[in-house]
């Protein structure tokens, strides 16, 4: 009788554990999808912010203010890093403030010296200053055609998750990733009608692929580190690292490479950070960025790199959608309408995510 009772208790415990794991997995999927939605908010407010105030002069045909006399290299590359730095610095300020409100700053300081903390710092450098700046450069040089190229980060993250962290990657999951990428191509194709594949467009596409590699590494590594570090702490490390490296190191390097001198980069960065007509929107973009990357890390740690990044890949649609609402409808700019192919792409992406989720769920059940 005692053996029967123990066996029944073990079976009941297994059922409870399976139900709990399934709920945890479903929550991770929702969080990963929501991270892509929030990334759309980040994209829209950054896009709008860089069309106001001092940015109008920076992007003028002949700048007359703080950017007067700078090189063409500066306008394309250094300014892209400055824009990303403004958002990252605003995001770091918000993350520190929020972390202080919930009492996590002490944990943040202690985590910096640990192995997971160092992993997060490296991931933040790769995915923040390097990938984010490459993404902005790609948008400037080639337009929104680079979105599906950048969306390859899901496939890259899935490959890293399989070979580095031994995460399951089945044929069905690969099919889901391919469908998500095809959907991103559909969404980005609306900008291909008048595309001229000049040298600049080719460099923009190359920059987007570099962004995909950076984000693929960050998503897989950051998600792994968040299995050991609370996401509230991880996002403070990520945004502070990204803001400092972007605003100090990368802007300095690019200013020197362009022959403009270190002072020119910091002069424009300071002007942008203190320009209230634009900076309030870049700060809002930073808040969206903080929550988006936090949920991206958390989702990947809960449901795996492949599924987490596939769900996050919805930003290929949410970016244009938020830009339509914020830039098009609220601020009245033209050129942000989503064509029919964009909505079709969104439906295809939902199908891809569903296939990816179902395939991973089956793989998990087989392991159990």
Burial 351-366 (b: 16+ CB within 10 A, else e): ebbebbbebbbebbee
What is d(CA 238, CA 124) in angstroms, rounded to the nearest whole number?
Answer: 5
For the segment 189-206, what is each residue's pLDDT rounded down to a tens digit? Answer: 655 544 455 567 778 878
Residue with tokens 């090189």, as numbered in its chain? 71
Phi, psi of 192 (to 5 degrees): -90, -10
Angstrom CA distances, 270 to 48, 88, 95, 100, 251, stand at 19, 14, 21, 26, 12
The reported pLDDT for the residue numbered 20 is: 79
222's CB contacts (< 8 A; 6+ apart) are: 120, 123, 124, 127, 234, 238, 296, 297, 300
Helices (H), the chain: 2-49, 54-58, 72-73, 79-101, 105-111, 115-125, 131-142, 146-150, 153-163, 171-188, 199-225, 231-244, 251-257, 262-273, 276-303, 305-312, 315-323, 340-367
The reported pLDDT for the residue numbered 100 is: 94
For the segment 2-12, what is each residue's pLDDT rounded down to a tens digit? Answer: 565 566 666 77
What is d(CA 195, CA 213) in angstroms, rounded to the nearest whole number?
Answer: 24
- Would you mind telling me the total number of residues written for the chain in this entry? 368
Q: Which of 352, 307, 368 is nearest to 186 (CA)?
A: 352
Using an 8 Å Cβ cutoff, are 153 and 35 in contact?
no
DSSP secondary structure letters along 120-187: HHHHHHIIIIIHHHHHHHHHHHHGGGHHHHHTTHHHHHHHHHHHTT-----HHHHHHHHHHHHHHHHH
Angle 314-315-316 from CA coordinates, rounded to 5°: 85
Tell me the pTM: 0.85
Angle between helices 305-312 and 340-367 (to 10 degrees): 160
What is d(CA 69, CA 57) in angstroms, rounded to the nearest whole number?
Answer: 12
What is d(CA 86, CA 82) in angstroms, rounded to the nearest whole number?
Answer: 6
For the segment 315-331, what is each residue's pLDDT rounded down to a tens digit? Answer: 778 888 898 899 989 99
Q: Which of 176, 300, 188, 170 is nearest to 234 (CA)?
A: 300
What is d(CA 227, CA 267) in angstroms, rounded to the nearest whole number?
Answer: 40
Burial 141-160 (b: 16+ CB within 10 A, else e): bbbbbbbbbbbbbbbbbbbb
Using an 8 Å Cβ cutoff, are 198 and 331 in contact?
no
Enumerate residue ranges in the chain where pLDDT < 50.
193-195
The reported pLDDT for the residue numbered 364 is: 58
What is d(CA 324, CA 319) in angstroms, rounded to the nearest whole number?
Answer: 9
Angstrom CA distances, 277 to 90, 100, 283, stand at 15, 28, 11
What is d(CA 263, CA 269) in angstroms, rounded to the nearest whole number?
Answer: 10
């Amino acid at each position: 009788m005692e053996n029967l009772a123990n066996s029944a208790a073990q079976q009941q415990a297994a059922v409870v554990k399976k139900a709990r794991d399934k709920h945890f997995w479903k929550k991770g999927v929702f969080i990963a999808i929501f991270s892509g939605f929030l990334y759309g908010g980040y994209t829209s407010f950054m896009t709008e912010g860089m069309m106001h105030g001092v940015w109008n002069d920076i992007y003028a045909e002949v700048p007359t203010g703080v950017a007067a006399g700078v090189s063409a290299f500066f306008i394309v590359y250094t300014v892209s890093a400055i824009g990303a730095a403004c958002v990252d610095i605003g995001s770091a300020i918000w993350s520190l403030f929020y972390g202080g409100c919930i009492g996590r700053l002490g944990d943040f300081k202690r985590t910096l010296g640990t192995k997971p903390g160092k992993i997060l710092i490296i991931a933040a450098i790769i995915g923040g200053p390097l990938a984010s700046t490459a993404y902005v450069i790609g948008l400037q040089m080639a337009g929104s055609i680079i979105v599906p190229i950048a969306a390859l980060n899901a496939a890259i993250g899935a490959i890293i998750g399989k070979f580095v962290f031994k995460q399951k990657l089945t044929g069905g999951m690969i099919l889901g990733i391919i469908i998500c990428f095809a959907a991103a191509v559909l969404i980005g194709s609306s900008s291909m009608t008048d595309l001229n594949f000049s040298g600049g467009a080719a460099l923009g596409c190359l920059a987007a692929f570099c962004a995909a590699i950076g984000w693929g590494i960050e998503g897989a590594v950051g998600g792994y580190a968040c299995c050991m570090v609370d996401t509230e702490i991880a996002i403070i490390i990520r945004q502070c690292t990204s803001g400092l490296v972007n605003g100090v190191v990368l802007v300095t390097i690019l200013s020197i490479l362009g022959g403009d001198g270190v002072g020119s980069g910091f002069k424009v960065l300071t002007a942008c950070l203190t320009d209230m007509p634009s900076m309030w929107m870049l700060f809002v973009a930073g808040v969206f960025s903080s929550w988006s990357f936090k949920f991206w890390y958390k989702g990947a740690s809960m449901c795996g790199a492949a599924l987490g990044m596939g769900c996050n890949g919805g930003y290929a649609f949410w970016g244009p959608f938020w830009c339509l609402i914020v830039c098009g409808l609220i601020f009245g700019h033209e050129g942000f309408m989503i064509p029919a192919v964009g909505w079709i792409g969104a439906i295809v992406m939902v199908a891809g995510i569903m296939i990816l989720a179902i395939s991973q769920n089956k793989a998990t059940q087989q392991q159990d």
